[in-house]
Amino acid sequence: MARLFSLARNAAAAIAVGVLLTGCLVPETIDANIVLEGYEYDMRVETRLADPRVAKALADGHVLTEQEEDRMRAEERKAARMPGFQRFTYAGEGRFNLVVNLIGELDASGSAIGVPNTRAKSQADNFLSIRRMDDGTIEVSTPEIPERARAELDQIAIVPNGTLTVTVSGTVIETNADETPGSFGGAYRWNISSWDDRVFLKVNPASD
């Protein structure tokens, strides 16, 4: 996600540069559910994504041209090549609606999957990722946003809002969840309403 912040300083010039594969989208709303069974995962995410470069340009008084809007609509065609994408549509003003459903297995140390770039080998530009660590544990996480980047996002009033749940088998080693399962099971839950509301869960899938 770091690259979008350096681009924001040239927001008007950067409008409609390809966003899907370049780490230039951040979540405004998110509703995510993850189920982990051993190293198998089932992740469904519904989110509205914003391009901060476009939001900044609009805040500075830029009016999107029809050509710029068409370039952003053209991003929809790229979704057909993205694993797990069920819907990716342009909603106007640099916003995109995304629905992802990913089912698979973390079959080797270092393997990972994330959103929105479901093809990425690195998870540096994804806002939600699942990774198999070298010690055999699995981590579910969202990234820390640098202070400068947070200040820029605050200036253009982009704030994440929503919930994320994770259901696991195995032993949870560490988590910062807002809610944890009860005696009869359930999910770990995070209520997200600011960039401070990071997600972290570390689980040993080999034990229960």
Mean pLDDT over 95-109 rounds to 93
Closest CA to 160 of 172, 168, 150: 150
Length of the chain equals 208
- The larger pLDDT score, comparing residue 23 to residue 177, is at 177
For residue 23, the model assigns a pLDDT of: 55
Do 181 and 187 contact (CB within 8 A), yes or no?
Answer: yes
For residues 181 and 206, the model is more confident at 181
Q: What is the pLDDT of residue 74?
A: 87
- Please give the residue that has the higher pLDDT: either 169 or 150: 169
Task: Please give the mean pLDDT across all residues of the chain.
Answer: 85
What's the pTM value of the predicted model, to 2 decimals? 0.87
Q: Could you write out the three-class secondary structure of the chain?
A: CCHHHHHHHHHHHHCCCCCCCCCCCEEEEEEEEEEEECCEEEEEEEEEEECHHHHHHHHCCCCCCHHHHHHHHCHHHHHHHCCCEEEEEEEECCEEEEEEEEEEECCCCCCEEEECCCCCCCCCCCCEEEEECCCCCEEEECCCCCHHHHHHHHHCCCCCEEEEEEEECCEEEEECCCECCECCECCEEEEECCCCCCCEEEEECCCC
Closest by CA to 131, choosing from 73, 88, 46, 122, is 122
